[in-house]
Structure 1
């Protein structure tokens, strides 16, 4: 990719950001939220980002284990929008193409029934883990004290002391509650259902616009097999590194150790199908783990006991019915929403959504 010109905050302002600086709260530190925050900071605004998890990442979140990390959410991303391409060029080497671009399609018994051709859009991953991209973008915010983690926003309401402004109530994992006030605008960069809840509580008419959005859950299983590093072995099971599956329990499997910048210890990420995940969303995790392990063995032939097995439950994972526009922005009220679900389910959709909301606000 060609080298992109550096864009300074003053350059951004000269290109049309002429509004007076404001204090803007962003709820959610995934791709959409951080892309939005970066753009608003470049435009000269003060930004405070609130994230309920310990680190930024959203659905690019990675999970650590004694044997290496797992990309528990997004497995890769494409770069079709030139604006995303320009942003990635500012940090060369952070993202690398993944050689598993030819993805097999498996039947329920694990037989390869098709191999999709190499796509025109390469599959990219951040290194050494998927959330490294968002965390790199978020570092300036964190260094400036503008990223608040372990802060779940549970209430959004008019500021009690300043007319026309907003205040947020957050709760941390230890149950501590805090009120953050004085925001000229609040932007929700989170899944549609919790965003709709906060908007409804604030009596925002934007809430009704989200009623048609549908998102599916996903159970993700992470397995490690360090025994594959023994002399004479390189990998366990199939010789491919990624596959889509028609098995009723599993939609996707990927060999994590095949991704660039990862530990060589054999690790697999298994994502359950949306239908199966919805049906078993509230099941006992031990039961879910056992069922997914059985299905994984059926389609890969790997029946060896893993040294590590872990689950991640995503309540809002894949977009089934998107909003149909990149964002929503109620300028008089100072409320907006963004997220991949506005356009689809790709990482790139999240970036575009967050960027375009910021451009509308700035």
Structure 2
């Protein structure tokens, strides 16, 4: 009588404690995947909330998506993840045009997009805030906490501990991590590894990544709320510009789920941002506001003018693979810069980073 083979038994999960540095799309996608696999995760973020370049700045006039303007959905895994947050993401009919010159002349209206442009509501950061909520509820989301050094755990040398700085230059050490994931821009990950003298196998890989900066201008025109004035300026809601200062303009109030007050987000070109990277805010405001007037023809005085500098905004030379994982040191890195500069690139990078650890 032939003996039936015994079914293979899966090995029990050995729970690991993993530190994720960065609460942008890559970091949150990585963290939530690790938690779903049964691991313990602690996320560190130097800002006040999750989002990264999917941040939204709230003002008395409404919100501004000061980084990512929209995203596309091409990967089935990203589509499945978005389905866990029904109603939070909506399509944006941007009515995008392309601007030819500094006089604001339109070359041609863009063809209808081949794929939907999506935004989170009521602001771009809403998606990651919801995805991060279980981490926050579990006390695993360390906001306003910047990791400044990595080193071996003093009690357990095979593990990691992280030195951090918080509000008011307060410092603290978190220990007992089996692995560390750096879900931050490549130059920041490289700098942290270099200053910590750790993860030397990763540093040559990170050194070749280039990411362009971007200055963002935010404008509000509440006078456009008058009953006889629906909006100011052009009839398009977004434009890709060849103006030497401006690369992108978007009417924030045209996005679904937003305040009706006329608001514009203007993103400077990478070249101009690089040349003026260290300029003070007032100088940048004046120059970009002048360019905005030239492109849109809007000469009204805005009631709100603010700028934000993204030192690392858009990848120009991506890594060409979804993540980097050094099993020997148990250190990994991920981010949109691994594959490109899109939101979906960041999601895939964080997801596949987590799968590599699992």
- Fold shared, TM-score > 0.5 on shorter chain: yes
- Spell out, residue by residue over 1:103-146, the C-alpha distance to the aligned partner (whole angstroms, 9 max, x if none): 43342211101222122221000000000001010000001100
Counterpart in the other structure of 2:220: 224
Aligned mates of 2:44, 2:96 — CA distance in 1:
38
- Spell out, residue by residue over 1:293-349, the C-alpha distance to the aligned partner (whole angstroms, 9 max, x if none): 000000000111000001111000010100110000011211000000000000000
Aligned mates of 2:123, 2:170 — CA distance in 1:
31
Question: Counterpart of 1:53 in 2: which secondary structure?
Answer: coil
Counterpart in the other structure of 2:237: 241
Task: Work out whether residues 97 and 106 of structure 2, in 8 Å CA contact, stay in contact via their aligned partners in 1.
Answer: no
Counterpart in the other structure of 2:296: 300
Counterpart among 52, 63, 68 of residue 62 in structure 2: 68
Task: Work out whether residues 326 and 338 of structure 1, in 8 Å CA contact, stay in contact via their aligned partners in 2.
Answer: yes
Aligned mates of 1:140, 1:17 — CA distance in 2:
27
1:186 aligns with 2:211: no
Unaligned 5+ residue runs, structure 2? 1-9
Deviation at 1:197?
A: 1.2
Question: Counterpart of 2:311 in 1: which secondary structure?
Answer: strand
| CA spacing shift, 1:269–1:296, aligned 2, 3 Å | same
Aligned mates of 2:321, 2:136 — CA distance in 1:
30
Counterpart in the other structure of 1:115: 109
Aligned mates of 1:18, 1:32 — CA distance in 2:
27
Counterpart in the other structure of 2:5: none
Counterpart among 90, 95, 103 of residue 96 in structure 1: 90
Task: Work out whether residues 101 and 119 of structure 1, in 8 Å CA contact, stay in contact via their aligned partners in 2.
Answer: no
Aligned mates of 2:92, 2:11 — CA distance in 1:
37
Aligned mates of 2:128, 2:122 — CA distance in 1:
12
Equivalence map 1:157-236=2 (5 Å):
157-200=151-194, 201-204=196-199, 205-236=201-232
Deviation at 1:19?
A: 4.5
- Spell out, residue by residue over 1:170-201, the C-alpha distance to the aligned partner (whole angstroms, 9 max, x if none): 11131000000000000000001010111222
Counterpart in the other structure of 1:33: 27
1:312 aligns with 2:308: yes
Counterpart among 329, 334, 337 of residue 325 in structure 2: 329
Deviation at 1:101?
A: 5.2
Aligned mates of 2:38, 2:339 — CA distance in 1:
27
1:149 aligns with 2:148: no
Aligned mates of 2:352, 2:102 — CA distance in 1:
41
Deviation at 1:92?
A: 1.1
Task: Work out whether residues 96 and 127 of structure 1, in 8 Å CA contact, stay in contact via their aligned partners in 2.
Answer: yes
| CA spacing shift, 1:66–1:176, aligned 2, 3 Å | same
1:252 aligns with 2:240: no
Aligned mates of 1:89, 1:104 — CA distance in 2:
32
Task: Work out whether residues 105 and 116 of structure 1, in 8 Å CA contact, stay in contact via their aligned partners in 2.
Answer: no
Question: Counterpart of 2:202 in 1: which secondary structure?
Answer: helix
The higher radius of gyration belongs to 2
Question: Counterpart of 2:127 in 1: which secondary structure?
Answer: helix
Task: Work out whether residues 213 and 312 of structure 2, in 8 Å CA contact, stay in contact via their aligned partners in 1.
Answer: yes
Deviation at 1:45?
A: 0.3
Counterpart in the other structure of 2:334: 338
Counterpart in the other structure of 2:43: 49
Q: How many residues align?
A: 347
Deviation at 1:18?
A: 6.0
